[in-house]
C-alpha cells in the first residue's frame, strides 16, 4: 500500500468513525468537527503478510473570523510629536492581519512604521506621525483559510501647522509675522460662599463670594434663578465681580444664586441657595359665610411667610384647639354661628399677623314642599 492510499484511507476512517460512533479519535466520536479536534493523527495498517504501514495527518479546524475592531491609544495626535499605536483585534483561529490606508497597503519600514502580529491581534505603531499617515480611512483585515473580515473604517485627527506659505509657481516664501500665545491653566474648584447665619428680611445683609482653587478667571457673571443679576440700590458688585453684597435683604432675594467663571480654555459654575425669612404678611380667611344645618364648613387662613406660619383660631373671642391653617366643622349646628378669628405667627422672625375675622351664620334647612 503506497503512502498516498494510506493517507486517503486515514481520512476515510476518520470520518466513517465519526459517523458510526467508532472510537478512533483520542476523545471519541463527535457530531461535528470542533476546534479542539485539531491535532496530529496517525494510523498503522498491518497487511496480511504482517507488514506495517504508518501514515500521519495534521488536522487544523478553523474558527470563523469575527469582531474585527481597531482601537487607538490616542484620541488625537500632533504631527511629528505623537506616536500612535493602533491595535486590531479579532476572533477566529490561525489569523493573519493586513492593514490598509484607503486602498493602499500599509507596509512596515522597521523604523517609523512597525507591525507586530500575534495570534489574535496585530499592532501598528506610527512614530512621529504625519498628517498623511491617517488620512484613511484606516482598515484592518483579519483572515484565515476559511474566510476574511474587514474592520470598520478608522480615522484619527492629526493636528498640524501652521505651514510656511509658498507660491505654487515661483516657490518663493515669505515668513508670517510672529505669533504670541500664552499658556492658561484651566479653572477648577469653583465655589460660592454665603451667609451661614439666619437671614431675616429688612434686618440682615448678605455677602456672596465666588472663587476658584486653580486657574485664571477672565470673565465672571452672576445669575439668580437662571436670570442675569443687575446692580440696584440694594445690590452692589465688587470691582472684579468676585462678590456681591445685598443690604438690606428682602423677601424677593430668596432663590438660587449662580456665578459663571470663564477663561479661553474652560469654564466652571458654582451656586448658593439663599433663604430669607420673612412674614407673616397680612392674613386672610376664606370660606362660607352662611350655611345650612349639618353642612360641612371649611375656613382657610392664609399668610405669606418663610418659614410657613403657625396659626391660632378663636371663636367668639375664645381660643380654640385648632392650630392649622384650616378650621373644619364636619356638621354645622346653630351654636357654630359666630365670629372666627385667625392669627398667623412666624417662629423665626417672631412676628404675628394682625387678627383677621370671619363671620359664619348657620341656618335651618329650607323646607322643600311640592306644589
Q: What angle do CA 247, 250, 256 make, to 5 degrees?
A: 95
Residue 340 and residue 261 share a domain: no
Residue 79 and residue 96 share a domain: yes
Of 216, 247, 276, the one marking the end of a domain is 276
Residue 114 and residue 75 share a domain: yes
Residue 358 and residue 301 share a domain: yes
The pLDDT of residue 134 is 84
Residue 128 and residue 45 share a domain: no
What total number of domains does the chain contain? 4
- In a domain? residue 28: yes
Residue 37 and residue 120 share a domain: no
Residue 95 and residue 55 share a domain: no
- In a domain? residue 103: yes
- In a domain? residue 166: no
Q: How far apart are CA 349 and CA 304, in angstroms?
A: 13
Ranges of residues in the chain whose predicted pLDDT is under 50: 16, 19-20, 22-31, 367-371
The pLDDT of residue 161 is 79
Residue 196 and residue 152 share a domain: no
Residue 106 and residue 39 share a domain: no
Query: What DSSP state is assigned to residue 242?
Result: S
Measured CA to CA in angstroms, residue 16 lies from 19, 29, 43 at distances of: 5, 10, 14
Question: Peptide bond before 162: cis, by omega within 30 degrees of 0?
Answer: yes
Residue 135 and residue 55 share a domain: no
Residue 153 and residue 70 share a domain: yes
Of 159, 174, 206, the one marking the end of a domain is 159
- In a domain? residue 8: yes
Q: Which residue range(s) make up the domain with 42?
A: 3-59
Residue 288 and residue 257 share a domain: no
Q: Which residue shows C-alpha cell 495626535? A: 77
- Pair 343, 272: CB distance under 8 Å: no
Cα of first residue to Cα of last residue in the chain, in angstroms, is: 129
- In a domain? residue 226: yes
- In a domain? residue 173: no
Question: Nine-digit cell at 123?
Answer: 499592532
Q: How far apart are CA 163 and CA 160, in angstroms?
A: 8
Of 216, 244, 276, the one marking the end of a domain is 276
- In a domain? residue 176: no
CATH number of the domain residue 71 falls in: 2.60.40.10
- In a domain? residue 180: no
Amino acid at each position: 500500500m503506497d503512502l498516498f492510499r494510506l493517507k486517503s484511507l486515514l481520512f476515510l476512517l476518520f470520518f466513517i468513525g465519526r459517523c458510526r460512533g467508532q472510537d478512533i479519535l483520542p476523545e471519541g466520536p463527535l457530531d461535528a468537527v470542533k476546534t479542539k479536534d485539531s491535532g496530529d493523527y496517525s494510523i498503522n495498517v498491518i497487511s496480511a503478510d504482517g507488514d506495517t504501514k504508518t501514515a500521519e495527518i495534521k488536522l487544523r479546524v478553523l474558527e470563523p473570523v469575527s469582531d474585527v475592531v481597531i482601537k487607538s491609544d490616542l484620541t488625537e495626535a500632533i504631527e511629528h510629536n505623537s506616536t500612535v499605536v493602533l491595535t486590531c483585534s479579532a476572533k477566529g483561529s490561525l489569523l493573519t492581519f493586513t492593514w490598509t490606508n484607503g486602498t493602499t497597503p500599509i507596509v512596515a519600514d522597521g523604523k517609523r512604521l512597525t507591525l507586530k502580529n500575534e495570534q489574535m491581534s496585530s499592532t501598528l505603531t506610527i512614530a512621529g506621525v504625519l498628517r498623511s499617515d491617517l488620512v484613511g480611512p484606516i482598515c484592518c483585515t483579519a483572515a484565515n483559510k476559511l474566510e476574511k473580515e474587514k474592520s470598520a473604517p478608522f480615522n484619527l485627527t492629526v493636528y498640524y501647522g501652521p505651514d510656511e506659505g509658498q507660491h505654487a509657481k515661483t516657490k518663493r516664501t515669505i515668513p508670517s509675522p510672529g505669533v504670541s500665545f500664552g499658556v492658561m491653566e484651566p479653572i477648577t474648584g469653583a465655589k460660592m460662599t454665603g451667609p451661614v447665619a439666619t437671614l431675616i428680611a429688612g434686618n440682615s445683609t448678605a455677602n456672596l463670594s465666588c472663587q476658584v482653587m486653580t486657574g485664571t478667571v477672565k470673565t465672571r457673571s452672576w445669575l439668580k434663578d437662571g436670570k442675569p443679576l443687575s446692580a440696584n440700590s440694594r445690590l452692589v458688585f465688587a470691582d472684579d465681580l468676585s462678590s456681591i453684597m445685598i443690604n438690606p435683604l428682602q423677601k424677593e432675594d430668596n432663590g438660587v444664586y449662580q456665578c459663571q467663571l470663564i477663561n479661553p480654555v474652560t469654564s466652571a459654575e458654582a451656586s448658593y441657595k439663599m433663604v430669607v425669612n420673612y412674614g407673616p404678611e397680612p392674613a386672610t380667611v376664606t370660606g362660607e359665610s352662611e350655611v345650612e344645618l349639618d353642612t360641612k364648613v371649611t375656613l382657610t387662613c392664609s399668610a405669606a411667610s418663610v418659614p410657613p406660619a403657625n396659626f391660632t383660631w378663636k371663636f367668639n373671642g375664645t381660643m380654640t384647639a385648632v392650630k392649622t391653617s384650616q378650621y373644619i366643622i364636619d356638621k354645622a349646628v346653630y351654636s357654630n354661628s359666630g365670629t372666627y378669628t385667625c392669627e398667623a405667627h412666624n417662629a423665626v422672625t417672631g412676628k404675628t399677623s394682625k387678627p383677621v375675622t370671619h363671620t359664619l351664620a348657620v341656618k335651618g334647612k329650607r323646607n322643600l314642599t311640592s306644589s
